[in-house]
A and B are shown apart, each in its own frame.
Chain A
């Protein structure tokens, strides 16, 4: 398996623009997680899905952030409008409920100018 795939790997955008981050989990995994990593706050869970259904979005910072999982092999995290404080590395991870180990993608490095 290719592992968790994220795109784009790097994104530079201007404040106010819409940003869409994409994730393809490992085939067969039933949990998908979105994390954000910054120097100030470390790694934080934003939202996670089980069988494509959002379970806990309490980590989503505000209404500008939204996430969807239309099917078992694809998820998006959208920021609209983006702000400079959204600059961070965004990671997607997946796991098979019975195995527990979370496998992380390489991350998307976002810079909002």
Chain B
């Protein structure tokens, strides 16, 4: 059974800092990996999807990397802004399309 761990559980940084969120998973037989953002009381918004054959994916100030063999992914946020404050969730996808979620990293960016 896939298990996903996200470190740190919470992070508070001043505006403008670059930061890295970490995700590790136990079963490397994944189809792809998605990073989501969840704002309080809201649904999930997909940020990036990395296919199992890819090493990296970028969207604006976000960059996600994937090392499938070691069961690790990172989400890099450049020049953080208060609007980036949210919970970030990592979810590897199994071969049958099912997602397994980590418990998330709660990010606060202070103005």
- Chain B residues with Cβ under 8 A from A56's Cβ? 96, 98
Residues of B within 8 A of A (CB-CB), count: 22
- Chain A residues with Cβ under 8 A from B99's Cβ? 33, 45, 102
Contact (Cβ within 8 A) B43 A105:
yes
A105 to B96, CA, bound (A): 21
Of B17-25, B65-73, B75-83, B100-108, the segment with at least 4 beta carbons within 8 Å of chain A is B100-108
Contact for A104 among B43, B96, B97, CB less than 8 A: B43
Query: What is the 8 Å Cβ interface bit string for chain B, positions 36-62, against chain A (1 contact, 0 not)?
Result: 100000111110010100000000000
B32 contacts A by Cβ under 8 Å: yes
Query: What is the 8 Å Cβ interface bit string for chain A, positions 13-33, against chain B (1 contact, 0 not)?
Result: 000000000000000000101
A43 contacts B by Cβ under 8 Å: yes
B64 contacts A by Cβ under 8 Å: no
Residues of A within 8 A of B (CB-CB), count: 22
Assuming A33-B99, A42-B104, A104-B44, what are 17 further A-B pairs, CB within 8 angstroms? A31-B97, A33-B97, A33-B98, A44-B101, A45-B98, A50-B97, A56-B96, A56-B98, A91-B43, A100-B34, A101-B34, A101-B46, A102-B34, A102-B46, A103-B46, A104-B45, A106-B42
Binding site for A on B (CB under 8 A): 31-32, 34, 36, 42-46, 49, 51, 89, 93, 96-104
